[in-house]
Amino acid sequence: MAKEYLSQQGIPYKDLDVTRDREAFNEMVKISGARSVPVIAALDEVIIGFDKGRVESIVGRLKEKAGS
């Protein structure tokens, strides 16, 4: 759901498979304190799970920043 939404919005993202990449898993836990996915980290904000409202807020700020 998160990847689909970001793709639809034209927002590039880095997709890491934490089930196969131990280093990525450790980084995810370090950033989020959680062991669940998705974890979305942008603009000094960390979202655990897909919270559409929060993601939309970040996407809006990213688009504003890109337009500046």
- In whole angstroms, how large is the CA radius of gyration of the chain? 12
Beta strands (DSSP E) in 4-67 are: 39-42, 45-48
pLDDT tens digits for range 3-15? 999 999 888 899 9
Average pLDDT over residues 34-47: 94
How many Å apart are CA 11 and CA 7, to the nearest integer?
6
| SS3 call for 33 | coil
The pLDDT of residue 67 is above 90: no
The pLDDT of residue 68 is above 90: no
How many Å apart are CA 37 and CA 40, to the nearest integer?
9
CB neighbourhood size of 68 (10 A): 4
Question: What CATH number labels 2-60?
Answer: 3.40.30.10
Average pLDDT taken over every residue of the chain: 93
